A = this chain, B = another copy of it.
């Protein structure tokens, strides 16, 4: 797969963009005209730099409003075009993107557009240049790729072909199957973008909200499959207008973008139909993790977390034989407390371990997807954990061991107690990670491409400090669930303002809450107004509500009334709290309706803690 990326996808100067694209492993780039115009480097310098970096310059773009105009306007089109063809020769670029007319078109006639494209093609040919004609989704007359292809056929010129852009086709709901009717050598260029399902005008959607493949709602694997069936063998290029990617670090975006194409390449090889196209390789595959292996909580002093775990019946399993790290377990839930190199750090989730079928395959997969490796210092005789760093900085590790079996690495912990046969807490239910708004799209691609988790639809809950967007990444069987919560932008940088949490499953939440209270667990207090409302909403028994209220339990019920969710939260310690949940009757959610009450109570708790410190 020959990969390319439009410079408009990235932030920074043109030179920075070229360097980042090359570093991330792209084969080529599309030059977005405004990036060149703003560059202090001459076209010859840009050409030379790209050569040295090993990047091809695949496309110059865009040339606008070239057809459907009157003769006087078309003469000006030719004048402008000739200046740009001259420039393209200096750059050494042989394909130019011409968009369907948005502004100046006055003639809605395929013959006129075709004849003008033919004349433009003649001029281009003199410069050794090809015209890739693209129907914009908001083109004045030509807004459908099938019409752009008809006009191109009418133009009947070897230097005139089409450019296909997944956004312009899929955003309008146009059937991409007709692509297979276009000969591959008449498709001069292919641009891919994903996008979230939004209901807004297509121009704003396109200019601000495009995403890299795998992050939105488009079926890009199917789309690309249609294109490849034509015999197209040109670059697969990303053109993603996105307000966030325009702002954030260019190197990170380039790596992220390249990962999306590697993911897509793999998806195409697995799509139904004929054999995988030549030059397209699958990724090594381990499937989604079968469960949580461990959660690692790091802090300079983890004793408040030890007290918390002890109060809910976790067993201290001892200290690591070479590191200031302890292990606690309850049922299948394992929590590693790490005080190594943690000066001034408050408790937070530093790493998550997963049980996987084939750890070696997953390590290869992660490497092919260009993820940064996570590192744990190891000693002779200790198990080496492979891992990757997620976009928010959380380290992700994986190892192969059967479900239920204790993993081998637990033997590295010494002088601990033996866990009882039964414990009130039975497993990790989910791990919720707060995401800065800049990285959440990349995080979705990270968890879906590396760990093969799928993204549930987005939900939104109100907090006293703004709306929190939540997207759950989960395995098909629900054994692994990772809600990603996006903090409001105002809190960016205040990591502690939107704490992470670990939720543990139990079989009897009322018994657990009672025993934990006896052992001094500090719960998050839930206001009485919540219980008054609960009784009104669900028509609950008074005694049941009284029990919930007594124990600060919160409650939710499925839409169909079968599943119920009872849970309670601990007070926040550092940047972390714990949740204990009992799922009844196949309840599959996370009690999102209770999150506003939790956020308010946590904020009140933080304010009290602040006033104590003062």
Q: Return chain B residues, CB-CB under 8 Å to A437.
A: 489
Tell whether, in the assembled complex, residue A438 and residue B490 are in contact, meaning their CB atoms are under 8 Å apart. yes
Could you say which residues of chain B place their CB within 8 Å of the CB of A38? 464, 527, 529-530, 596-597, 599-601
| Number of A residues, CB within 8 Å of B | 59
Q: Are A11 and B465 in contact (CB under 8 A)?
A: yes
Closest to A533 in B: B37
Name the CB-closest residue of B to A79: B539
Q: Is A466 touching B11 in the complex (CB atoms < 8 A)?
A: yes
Q: In whole angstroms, how far apart are the Cα atoms of A259 and B209 in the complex? A: 34
**B527 & A489 in contact (Cβ 8 Å cutoff):** no
Interface string of A503-531 (1 = CB under 8 A from B): 00000000000000000000001011110
Which residues, 44 to 76 on A, are CB-close (under 8 Å) to B? 76
Q: Please report the C-alpha to C-alpha distance between residue A204 and residue B205 in the assembled complex, in whole angstroms.
A: 14
The segment from A193-201, A374-382, A448-456 found at the interface with B is A193-201
Q: Let me know if A42 is at the binding interface, CB within 8 A.
A: yes
Q: How far is the CA of A437 from the CA of B467 in the complex (A)?
A: 16
Contact status of A246 and B536, CB under 8 A, knowing A39-B529, A199-B204, A525-B40: no
Q: Closest residue of chain B to A437, judged by CB?
A: B489
Structural contact, A596 and B247, CB atoms closer than 8 A: no
**Any chain B CB within 8 A of the CB of A87?**
yes
Residues of chain B lying within 8 A (CB to CB) of residue A535 = 83
Q: Which residues of B contact A491 (CB under 8 A)?
A: 247
The residue that A604 contacts in the complex, of B40, B530, B599, with Cβ under 8 A, is: B40
Q: Which residues of B contact A525 (CB under 8 A)?
A: 40
Which residues 16-42 of A have a CB within 8 angstroms of B? Answer: 33-34, 36-42
> Is A219 part of the binding interface, using a Cβ–Cβ cutoff of 8 Å?
no
- Give complex CA distance A527, B536 in Å: 68
Q: How would residues 453 to 488 of chain A score, 1 for a CB under 8 Å from any chain B CB and 0 otherwise?
A: 000000000101111000000000000000000001
Query: Contacting A529 at CB < 8 Å: which of B42, B462, B528?
Result: B42
CB of A53, distance to nearest CB on chain B (Å): 19
Q: Is A185 an interface position by the 8 A CB rule?
A: no
Minimum CB–CB distance from A459 to chain B (whole Å) comes to 13
Contact A488/B246 with A13-B464, A38-B601, A39-B529 known, Cβ cut-off 8 Å: yes
Q: Is residue A492 contacting chain B, with contact meaning CB distance below 8 A?
A: yes
Interchain CB contact under 8 A, B76 and A246: no
Which residues in chain A, 487-501, are within 8 Å of chain B measured between CB atoms? 488-492
A248 lies within 8 A of chain B by Cβ: yes
Q: What is the bound-complex CA distance between A40 and B604, given in angstroms?
A: 9
User: Pick the contact of A527 from B39, B87, B488 — CB < 8 Å?
Assistant: B39
**Which residues of the partner chain B approach A33 to less than 8 Å between Cβ atoms?**
533
* Contacts of A585-614 to chain B: CB distance below 8 A: 596-597, 599-601, 603-604
**A152-209 with Cβ < 8 A to chain B:** 198-201, 204, 208
Judged by a CB distance under 8 angstroms, whether A421 is at the interface is: no
Residues of B contacting A465 in the complex (Cβ-Cβ under 8 angstroms): 11, 246-247
Residue among B79, B84, B201, B246 making CB contact with A199, cutoff 8 Å: B201
Is A243 an interface residue, CB under 8 A from the partner?
yes
Mark A416-448 against chain B: 1 for CB-CB distance below 8 A, else 0: 000000000000000000000110000000000
* A88 vs B466: C-alpha distance when bound (angstroms): 26
A198 partner residues in chain B, CB cutoff 8 A: 200, 204
- Is A532 located at the chain interface by the 8 A CB criterion? yes
Q: Pick the contact of A537: B39, B80, B530 (CB < 8 A).
A: B80
Please name all residues of chain B whose beta carbon is closer than 8 Å to the beta carbon of A37 when the two chains form the complex.
527, 529-530, 533, 596-597
Query: Which residues 567-596 of A sit at the B interface, judged by CB distance below 8 A?
Result: 596
Let me know if A222 is at the binding interface, CB within 8 A. Answer: no
Q: A38-B597, A536-B80 are in contact. Are A466 and B529 (CB under 8 A)?
A: no
| Least Cβ–Cβ distance between A12 and chain B, in angstroms | 5
A43 within 8 A of B: yes
Between A34, A201, A492, the greatest number of chain B beta carbons within 10 A of the residue's beta carbon is seen for A34
Interchain CB contact under 8 A, B536 and A84: yes
Distance, CA A11 to CA B596, complexed state (A):
12
CA A164 – CA B253 in complex, angstroms? 47
Q: In the assembly, what is the distance between CA of A13 and CA of B607, in Å?
A: 11
Asked whether A247 and B466 contact (CB < 8 A) given A34-B596, A43-B529, A600-B38, the answer is yes
| Residue ID in chain B nearest A12 by CB atoms | B464
Q: CB within 8 A of A528: which of B11, B13, B42, B527?
A: B42
CA distance A247 to B40 in the complex (A): 40
Chain B residues positioned under 8 Å from A528 (CB to CB):
42
The 6 A-B pairs at the shortest CB distance, nearest first, are namely: A83-B536, A38-B600, A200-B200, A247-B466, A199-B201, A247-B490
Hey, which bits of chain A sit against chain B, CB under 8 A?
Answer: 11-13, 33-34, 36-43, 76, 79-80, 83-84, 87, 198-201, 204, 208, 243, 246-248, 437-438, 462, 464-467, 488-492, 525, 527-530, 532-533, 535-537, 539, 596-597, 599-601, 603-604
* 12 pairs, CB–CB < 8 Å, chain A vs chain B: A37-B529, A38-B530, A38-B600, A39-B600, A40-B529, A76-B539, A80-B537, A199-B201, A200-B200, A200-B201, A247-B489, A437-B489
Extra A-B contacts (14), CB below 8 Å, given A13-B600, A34-B596, A37-B597: A13-B464, A33-B533, A37-B530, A38-B527, A39-B600, A40-B529, A83-B532, A83-B536, A199-B200, A200-B204, A243-B467, A246-B462, A247-B466, A489-B492
